[in-house]
Structure formats: structure tokens, C-alpha cells
Amino acid sequence: MNRHMFAYLDPTSGSVAYQIALSTFLAAAAAVRMYWKKIQQLFRRNSSNTSVEKKQEENVVGGWSARRP
């Protein structure tokens, strides 16, 4: 079938904008959740930084462990 239909389809640009904006927000929230411990550590850097916290920083990222099998 020839694809040229002289059709004019609505690009639905209006709905795409808010769908992308909301999805981006939620994905960013998920990323922040994963890196939450690291972000917290970033702000605590000037306070006492125990060896236990250092170990936590290495191994635990949010609810997921980067090195857990």
C-alpha cells in the first residue's frame, strides 16, 4: 500500500508534553531514592565520618545493594 494518504494526523503534542514532564519527575524521584544514602552523605561530609558510615556508603545504595549477588 502506498503510504501517502494526503491525511493530516494530529501530532498530539499537547498530551505528550505533560506525559513526558510527569514521567521525568517520577523517574528522577526513583533515581534520587536509589542514591538517597549517597546524597545524605554528601551533606554530612563536614560532620563526623565514621568508618562504619564509609562502609555503608560503599555498599548500600538506597534500598538496593550495588554488590549484593
Partner 1 sequence: MIGPSKWYSRAGFLCCLIVFPFLTFLANNEYGFFYPEVIVASALLLIPCLLLSLLTRRNIFATVVVILVALSGAYPLALLFHGSIRWQIAAAMLAFGAGMAVWIMRDRFYPVLVVFTSSGLLIAVAAHMPWKSWSHAAFSRAQPKHIVWILLDEQMGLAGFPVTPACSEARDELRQVLTKYNFTIYPDAYSNYAGTIDSVPSILNERLLRYPHELIDRTGQGNLRQYRIRGNRTFTGFAAEGYRVVAYQYASLQFCQPYVASAECHNYTLSLSNLHQAPGNWRDRFRWLVGNYQASDPVRSYTRGFFFFRLGVRMPGPLGVSEIWPDHLAADILSRDRPIFFFAHLLTPHSPYLYRSDGSVRDLHEWSDDRADERVNAAEYQDRYRRYCEQVQYVSSQLDRFLGTLRTHGRLDQMTVVVHGDHGSRIRLNLDASAQAPEYEDAETLDKGEDTDGRDLMNHFSALLAIKPAGAEKPRISNERHSILTLLDRDLFRQNPADGTAQTDLVYLIDPQRQYRPVQIAKYWR
Residues of the shown chain interacting with partner 1 in the complex, contacts defined by CB under 8 A: 1-13, 15-20, 22-24, 26-27, 29-31, 34, 61, 64-66, 68
Query: Rounded distance, CA 23 to CA 16, Å?
Result: 10
Cβ nearer to partner 1, comparing 31 with 39: 31
Alpha carbon 26 to its chain centroid, in Å, reads: 7
What minimum distance in Å lies between the beta carbon of 28 and partner 1?
8
30 versus 39: smaller Cβ distance to partner 1:
30
Contact 57, 42 (CB under 8 A): no
Alpha carbons 21 and 64: distance in angstroms, whole number: 26
User: What is the nearest approach in angstroms of partner 1 to the Cβ of residue 1?
Assistant: 4
